[in-house]
């Protein structure tokens, strides 16, 4: 386990440029960027709820030079969204899970 931690720290230490993209994700544009790390919303098409395919993930994981790019998925741990795959439409009218609080008035 220790060796894995050391390796991950070394990978993170090489990150000089990074970015975030939570909406309007253009996999090809991100793939063509020089970013060392990208944080993206896994749902690349919010209208359909489509998540990134394995092929799209491979595009994101490589910089144009062929070097590895770190890709992290964004997930809000403080809010549940109806367009997420885990969401059940029944929660609007029936009993919701205990972990789902009331709707936020700030949104």
Burial category of 78 from C-beta neighbours within 10 Å (exposed 0-12, middle 13-18, buried 19 and up): exposed
Structure tokens given for 42: 């896994």
pLDDT in tens, 81-101: 787 778 888 888 888 888 888
Structure tokens given for 28: 């090809």
Q: What is the mean pLDDT of residues 14-24?
A: 92
Which DSSP string do the residues of 38-73 spell out, in sequence order? EEE-SEEETTTTEEPPHHHHHHHTB-TTS-B-EEEE
Quote the pTM value.
0.74
pLDDT at 47: 82
Beta carbons of 30 and 60 less than 8 angstroms apart: yes
């Amino acid at each position: 386990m220790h060796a894995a931690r050391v390796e991950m720290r070394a990978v993170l230490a090489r990150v000089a440029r990074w970015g975030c993209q939570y909406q309007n994700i253009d996999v090809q544009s991100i793939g063509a960027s020089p970013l060392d790390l990208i944080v993206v919303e896994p749902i690349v098409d919010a209208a359909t709820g489509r998540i990134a395919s394995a092929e799209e993930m491979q595009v994101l994981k490589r910089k144009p030079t062929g070097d590895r790019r770190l890709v992290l998925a964004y997930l809000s741990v403080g809010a549940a969204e109806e367009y997420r795959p885990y969401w059940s439409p029944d929660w609007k009218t029936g009993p919701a899970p205990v972990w789902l609080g009331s709707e936020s008035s700030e949104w």
